[in-house]
Amino acid sequence: MTKKLIAGNWKMNGNLADNAALMGAVVAGLPSAEALEAAQVSVLVCVPAPYLAQVAALRGPVDLGAQDVSPQKGGAYTGEVSPAMLKDFGTRFVIVGHSERRQNHFETNELVALKAQNSLAHGLTPIVCVGETLAQREAGETEAVVKRQLAAVIHVNGHCLTELVVAYEPVWAIGTGKTATPEQAQAVHAVIRTQLQAASSNAKRIPILYGGSMNASNAAALLAQPDIDGGLIGGAALKAADFLQIVAAAQAVA
């Protein structure tokens, strides 16, 4: 069992005033950094890049993450953000391969692997998202799809594997209010753990998060599963009370 990681993904939401209110309420409602450490729980928010500096100044015991990164180091790549730029603001984590980027920006497994590699090369921990669509689940392809997505990352980054976080996010559960049952999620997490174990002797230390409509009501049951090491939370991370309840659920099971 690793430390539990509760990560909010704000997606393209927020503004200066709302971010200040949300972070103020989250930080005020969290236990101290020492209490979180004693409970073996880490809390993270992955915010839109323009707000990294703002949230860095408000974060208290909350870690800072970004939602995407360039596979390039720098140069003539208009619109891209490099890992070094993210690091300048104290960013420690970055989501790569979120299904919204795979779908809307046609990101391939190979590109996601290169983004993970570039992150690792600059001391950022990539949160690699994997997960099947509803059609793939119904066709019995869940395991194959998830393994293929992760295999690309393992192939490129094998030697750095302990610095990864993996997030299993069934596409059909993201933002839909439909959640994988704890048993469905655990079954895929076990597959991911086995795949990581084949690639790294430290696989037990790689957090595997569940994401997909995790909320204050279902978090405890999901987080109680043996291979679910935390959550990647979209909608519920925008409401301080809900996010804090998920953190409390993680404390209770950690």
- Residues carrying an active site annotation: 98, 169
CA distance 44 to 196: 23
* Minimum CB–partner distance for residue 68 and ligand PEP (Å): 12
* Minimum CB–partner distance for residue 78 and ligand PEP (Å): 26
Which residues touch 182 (CB under 8 Å, ≥6 apart)?
221, 222, 224, 225, 228
Closest to ligand PEP by CB, 9 vs 200, is 9
* Minimum CB–partner distance for residue 210 and ligand PEP (Å): 9
Closest to ligand PEP by CB, 64 vs 199, is 64
CA distance 173 to 9: 15
CA distance 231 to 4: 8
Q: Are 13 and 50 in contact (CB under 8 A)?
A: no
Q: Which of 36, 100, 81 is nearest to 63 (CA)?
A: 36
Give me the residues that bind ligand PEP (CB under 6 A), please.
9, 11, 169, 174-175, 211-214, 232-236
CA distance 23 to 170: 28
* Minimum CB–partner distance for residue 48 and ligand PEP (Å): 13
The alpha carbon of 177 is separated from its chain's Cα centroid by a whole number of angstroms, namely 18
CA distance 235 to 157: 31
Q: Are 80 and 122 in contact (CB under 8 A)?
A: no
* Minimum CB–partner distance for residue 175 and ligand PEP (Å): 4
